[in-house]
Amino acid sequence: MRLLALLLWLCVASSLARILSTKGLYGLVRRRLPNHVDHFHFTIDYSNITGADGYDQFMVQSAPNGTILVKGNSVSALSSGLHRYLTEVAHVDIYWFIGSRLDQIASPLPRLTKPIEGSSTVPWRYHFNTVTFSYTTAFWTWEEWETQLDWLALQGVNLPLAWVGQEKILVDVFHEIGLTDTEIATFLTGPAFQAWNRFGNIQGSWGGSSLPRDWIDRQFDLQKKIIPRMVELGMTPVLPSFTGFVPMNTTRVLPDAKIVRGSQWGGFPRRYTNDSFLEPFDDHFSKLQYSFINKQRAAYGNVSHIYTLDQYNENVPYSGDLDYLRNITRTTWQSLKQADPDAIWMMQGWLFYAQSDFWTGERVEAYLAGVADHKDMLILDLFSESAPQWRRTQSYYGKPWIWCQLHDYGGNMGLYGQITNITVNATQARIESPSLVGYGLSPEGQEGNEIIYRLLLDQAWSTTPLESKQYFHDWVRSRYSGSGSTPNELYEAWELMRTPVYDNTNASVYAVIKSVLELRPAIDNIAGRVGFQATALTYDPMILVQAWHKLYYAADSEPALWTNPAYRLDMVDVTRQVMANAFIPLYRSLVSTWNTSNAGQDTLSRKGEQMIQLLSDLDAVLLTSSHFRLSTWINSARAWAHGNDSQASFLEYNARNQITLWGPTGQIADYASKQWSGVVSSFSIPRWQIFIKYLKSMPPASFNATELTAQLMDFELHWQHEKWEKPDPSGEAEDLEKVLGRVYSRWPSIFAES
């Protein structure tokens, strides 16, 4: 029995046990399986509400009349049992980017030959990173959130982060102490960058405007839909709290307040960073905390006692003195407990990795020691699969913690995974660390590679590391349901990708790979970088070409695949990666040729034209899927303006800036770059054309990197302020099968099987 895990579970969950209801699950079935609402029956076992060992348990069986009976000790257990039935017996599921495929289920419902039973190995299954709310969900509507929440429920997630709309609460708190709208506007950032404002990294908006009040109110209204849905689906939302970051003019209304300036972040000028931080041992801090939490409770109800609060995300504390650090956490903790006696403080452990030079062992221990009661803190070991901090901190010195997979930075789109790390390593951590209380997903951007995220959530229900070969096989069967038979080529394609692509063991590359074509062109080898923004491939690109052929020819034996949304998305995604990989040798060949003293203009032109043609063809492939279009991102942003042209322009600028310059003048340029139709055609291709033209006009001896960068920056700055037109300026999407056939025949050197 994990005593700490059980205490944590009981502290938060027991008070809710009496009001558990299956209403939310019946609602999910009604949304996703409307023809089978009466064919599922859910029962909560109140006599065993925490399970025999303190964790979730379920059992699924068929009734004599064909009804599927799901029994469990929590709503999350019931939804996990439902998911097991849907995927393992009915072979249907719900997916990112594709949506629900549950309607493909057979009728009558498939019967079970024997009951399915499951028991979680950890009490908590967590989802989201604070920055996911900027990189992925910034412009989501309720429809998109509704699909996401159903996905979370079926995956057994019971602890999701719930950041949406917190600015409304914060603005009301600031108004309460006398700050004006103008003063508050200097603090809040644009929608695509709110995560880093919440972290205290940046303040204010660039691009000629400030965060509209309409946006704040509409996001708050959205949160009032999200929170109840989370609760009725058996989740405990992790709610925001007052972090201490305040507008610069706060001393006008609180002249005696102990306020210090945070450290500079990301190379931003002082105007946009060095956020003002009200120190927690100031009496005003606890008053603002009390106001924030009570306003939040009034808005959403008494739905959770877990609060997210990060004070030093990639910021260095004002002092490294041990007593100072201990006092910061002690008084922060006390402020939460004064506002909510049952409060649990959740924080990301990322700071201990990102600023490891500052966070020595004794400083980490002192900082965590400020929270005297272990069960009052919950720590996310944010990057456990590559840079776990739980070992060097002795399991966070006894604090409950969650093993998290970060995986993706900035919404990078490369195919990538670390199967061994998220099965074997996660299981070993659970066995070794008594204070581990959960597994979680903490991606910066929720892009592609869905199978890797689901693998960790399913690992939460297995005492031993999941066997990935069978897991991938089962994934294929469910993913392409609704197309008749499942051709063997589909199984073979995913098996080809399983180990080389999705189980990286190269320690120098430890996150999703970024494609060279997305980066600002340069003559140094931008194709061989390692680290968490790596461009170096971790697999033989020919393996992916072979997998592509398997996927492509699977439709010969099952033509219905061309109308299957999962197959269409996967064909675009794998084709995208094959072409992105093929761009690397073209780029290297151009630079190598230019470095040759006798390189002729014709040769450089030919090589440059080949690169641009590949990018143009890639853009045509991407255009066939709404998920891979810039217009989808921009239209979502502009829609939040509800017809207000000036607000629409501000929101579009925000959306454009994040995926390109990431800052007023490129402070974090290309970090969140995307391979989207429209980005490739209107941003990537012009940049590479500028680069090629410059090389053609400038021999190596006269090369001037500053001059080239200035030309590229001029274009990039102009692009930020363009307006997306309708219809899509990239053109009208062609039929995917036709586009792939053309690309296949045009690039035999890329798609050759050997």
Predicted confidence band at 310 (pLDDT cuts at 50, 70, 90)?
A: very high
Q: Is the Cβ–Cβ distance between 673 and 725 less than 8 Å?
A: no
pLDDT of residue 731: 77
- Per-residue pLDDT at 12: 47
Q: Which fold has domain 3-119?
A: Chitobiase; domain 2 (3.30.379)
Q: 42-73 pLDDT, tens per residue?
A: 999 977 655 555 699 999 999 999 999 999 99
Residue ranges per structural domain of the chain: 3-119, 488-751
Phi, psi values for residue 227, rounded to 5°: -60, -50
Instruction: Report the pLDDT averaged over residues 383-398.
Output: 98
pLDDT in tens, 570-584: 999 999 999 999 999
Sorting pLDDT into bands at 50, 70 and 90, what band is 19? low
Q: Each residue of 626-677: pLDDT tens digit?
A: 999 999 999 999 999 999 999 999 999 999 999 999 999 999 999 999 999 9
pLDDT of 532 strictly over 90: no
Q: If you average pLDDT over every residue of the chain, what do you get?
A: 95
Q: Is the pLDDT of residue 3 over 50?
A: no
pLDDT in tens, 198-244: 999 999 999 889 999 999 999 999 999 999 999 999 999 999 999 99
pLDDT of residue 11: 46
Q: Is the pLDDT reported for residue 553 higher than 90?
A: yes
DSSP string, 420-450: HIIIIIHHHHHHH-TTEEEEEE--SS--S-H
Contact of 93 with 101, CB cutoff 8 Å: yes
The mean pLDDT value for 289-298 works out to: 98
pTM: 0.97
CB count within 10 Å of CB 35 equals 10
In the prediction, which pLDDT does 613 show? 98
Do residues 721 and 650 touch, judged by C-beta distance below 8 A?
Answer: no
Q: What is the pLDDT of residues 258-280, one digit of tens each?
A: 999 999 999 999 999 999 999 99
SS3 of residue 285 by DSSP: helix
Angle between helices 213-232 and 166-176 (to 10 degrees): 120
Residue 7 confidence (pLDDT) above 60 = no
Q: Kindly state the average pLDDT of the residues 686-695.
A: 97
d(CA 195, CA 670): 18
Q: What is the pLDDT of residue 46?
A: 76
> What CA–CA distance (Å, rounded) separates 444 from 408?
6
From the list 215, 137, 222, the residue with the least C-alpha distance to 641 is: 215
What's the confidence (pLDDT) of residue 89? 96
CATH number belonging to domain 488-751: 1.20.120.670
Q: Diameter of the chain by CA atoms?
A: 83
Average pLDDT over residues 738-744: 98
Position 17 scores a pLDDT of 38
pLDDT of residue 421: 98
- What is the residue type of 68? I
